[in-house]
Structure 1
Amino acid sequence: MLFRDREIAGVEALLFVADKPLTKEGLAEILQLSIEDIAEILYDLKERYAAPTSGVTLIEVNEGYKLGTKPEMSAYIETLYHQPSQGLSGAALEVLAIIAYKQPVTRGEVDFIRGVQSDRALGTLVEKGLVKDVGRKEGPGRPILYGTTEQFLIHFGLKSLEELPDLNFESMQEAAPAEELAELLWEKSSEELPMETAEPMKENENCD
């Protein structure tokens, strides 16, 4: 029906222009529809985008929804912007994994777990929007605490942090080795991850 088509188009338009995921409640309020109606429309859109003739997909993250491009379309997008996407290095993936499982965590604590300095890798993650400053830790110097972002969830295809692969802490030290943490995220990443040379820690480096 025409009215039904207009409702579907309205949801699609809002998801297209929104700069962050929209919840069912938010969409329902804007379009003056019930949450059940919105859920049905989102299901219809997901089915439509699943077709091989569609280059976009519906992404669910933190109980919100947004539009994104399918991974197999990345080559075309890279050509459009004349710049190939750069995957995460091995060092950056290790740092990201530690933050994902230990958050909120300080840079010093990340360094302690890895056994090497993480400044460059951490800076890369912040620049890519995968990690952010979430506050300050009480104590000497009040170091910055880091946590993951919604972009992190989207990048790894997770709806929430609860979908992170299970980690059995009983089978490893309390501060799980960075390599084991990173391995869990490695399987979630579809990108080719070039290795990066680690920076050795200074002898007086602590875990502030």
Structure 2
Amino acid sequence: MTDTLPPDALIEAALLTQSEPLGEKTLRQLCDPPLSQDKLIDVLGSLKARWQNRALQLVHSGEGWRFQIAPAAYARLGALQETRSPRYSRAVMETLAIIAYQQPVTRGDIEGIRGVAVSQNVMQTLLDRGWIETIGHRDTVGRPVLWATTPAFLADLQLDSLEQLPPLTELGELVLPELPQAAGADNGAEEETEDA
């Protein structure tokens, strides 16, 4: 009897035991010898089919592959959790929507669209959740920080890309004006010069 597992069993075990999504390169290199891309696609397709109509499902996001609770089971299992998912204020959700649909944006852009100042607490909430990050600075006076969404944002919404966000017409009356193009963005992460 050999100690090696077949590739599908090894990949299934890895995906079930890791809390973070696993990329395809990582999954291919788990096996000895490493799997080809085509073989990995076959293995993932087989696993996805095997777990269909169960409480867990294999999903792919911008961050990689992972097992997650199927939507039908999630509502029932939520009652078992002692800690509930945080509820976010309207200011947090409006700010996130503006960043998602207009990125990259500065805090001044967000304030111009919302018509009110954006508090540091709102930005910190989105940063702590891992949904936004700084991607550089706009090449204007004061070099304000440019904000964009993260791969974690896409993963949490179960999206592969921003193109899968629903059209704004389906979201109601939020009308977003054209913003200046981001010029000269660099990877600096200094604090924004605008006041909260």
TM-score scaled by length of structure 1: 0.68
- Are 1:124 and 2:115 counterparts? no
- 1:194 maps to none
Q: Does 1:164 align with 2:175?
A: no
RMSD, aligned CA? 3.1
- Whole-Å separation in 2 of the counterparts to 1:19 and 1:84: 18
1:39 matched to 2:36? The reply is no
**Displacement of 1:29 after TM fit?**
3.1
Q: CA deviation at 1:140?
A: 2.6
Deviation at 1:57, TM superposition (A): 2.0
Relative to total residues, which structure has the larger helix share, 1 or 2? 1
Task: Tell me the CA shift for residue 111 of structure 1.
Answer: 0.8
Aligned length: 172
Moved more, 61-70 or 151-160: 61-70
Show structure 2 runs of 5+ residues with no match: 179-193
Tell me which residue corresponds to 1:107: 107
Tell me by how many angstroms 1:105 deviates.
Answer: 0.9
Amino acid at match of 1:157: Q
Residue type at the aligned position of 2:108: G
CA contact (8 A) 2:133 2:147 kept: yes
Counterpart in the other structure of 2:10 = 10
Q: For each residue in 1:29-83, what CA deviation from the matched residue of structure 2 results, as whole angstroms up to 9, or x when unmatched?
A: 33211211111111122222222xx332222112732222233335535634x21
Give the equivalent residue in structure 2 for 1:182: none
* Counterparts of 2:166 and 2:42, CA distance in 1: 29
Offset of 1:89 from its aligned partner?
2.8
Residues 1:155 and 1:87: Cα distance change in structure 2 (over 3 Å)? farther
Distance apart, 1:153 and its partner CA? 0.8
Q: Is the 8 A contact 1:57 1:69 kept in 2?
A: yes
Question: What is the Cα deviation at residue 3 of structure 1?
Answer: 10
Matches within 5 A, 1:149-160: 149-160=150-161
Q: Which runs of 4+ in 1 moved over 4 A?
A: 2-5, 17-20
Post-superposition shift, 1:88? 3.1
| Change in CA separation of 1:27 and 1:161 when aligned onto 2, cut-off 3 Å | same
The one of the two structures with greater contact order (alpha-carbon pairs below 8 A, sep at least 6) is 1
Q: Percent identity?
A: 33
Would the aligned equivalents of 2:107 and 2:145 in 1 still touch at CA under 8 Å? yes
SS in 2 for 1:125: helix
CA gap 1:26/1:136 in 2 versus in 1, 3 angstroms:
same
Counterpart Cα distance in 2 of 1:5 and 1:89: 48
Deviates more, 1:20-29 or 1:150-159: 20-29
CA distances 1:142-189 after superposition (whole Å, capped 9, x unpaired): 222111111211222211112122457xxx96617xxxxxxxxxxxxx
